[in-house]
Amino acid sequence: MAAQSAPKVVLKSTTKMSLNERFTHMLKNKQPLPANARASVQQQQQQQQLASARNRRLAQQMEHRPSVQAALKLKQGGEW
């Protein structure tokens, strides 16, 4: 049996602008965020900072628990 080759597909360019030019143009014409969107972003950042502070506090509390200290001592001793 002779192997049949697939017909060649030629795509014609639909634009004269390169991707780099297109994205550069998009960045230049980028609209600033509306005030309510900026406020939303700031609120999310504040929530993340608050969560980070809570996580640090929880980690400190865990370090001082006797059961955690015992587990850490076992792990350091190479018994795990």
Q: How far apart are CA 80 and CA 71, in angstroms?
A: 9
Q: What is the pLDDT of residues 36-76, one digit of tens each?
A: 888 899 999 999 999 999 999 999 999 999 999 999 888 88
In whole angstroms, give the CA distance from residue 77 to residue 69. Answer: 12
Q: pLDDT, tens digit, for every residue of 6-46?
A: 888 777 767 788 889 999 999 999 887 788 888 899 999 99
Q: What are the residue ranges spanned by the domains of the chain?
A: 38-79
- pTM for the structure as a whole: 0.42
- Answer yes or no: are the C-beta atoms of 41 and 33 closer than 8 Å: yes
Do the beta carbons of residue 25 and residue 18 sit within 8 Å?
Answer: no
Q: Cβ neighbours of residue 63 under 8 Å, at least 6 residues apart?
A: 69
Confidence at residue 14, expressed as pLDDT on a 0 to 100 scale: 74
pLDDT of residue 53: 96
Sign of dihedral through CA atoms 18, 24, 29, 35?
positive
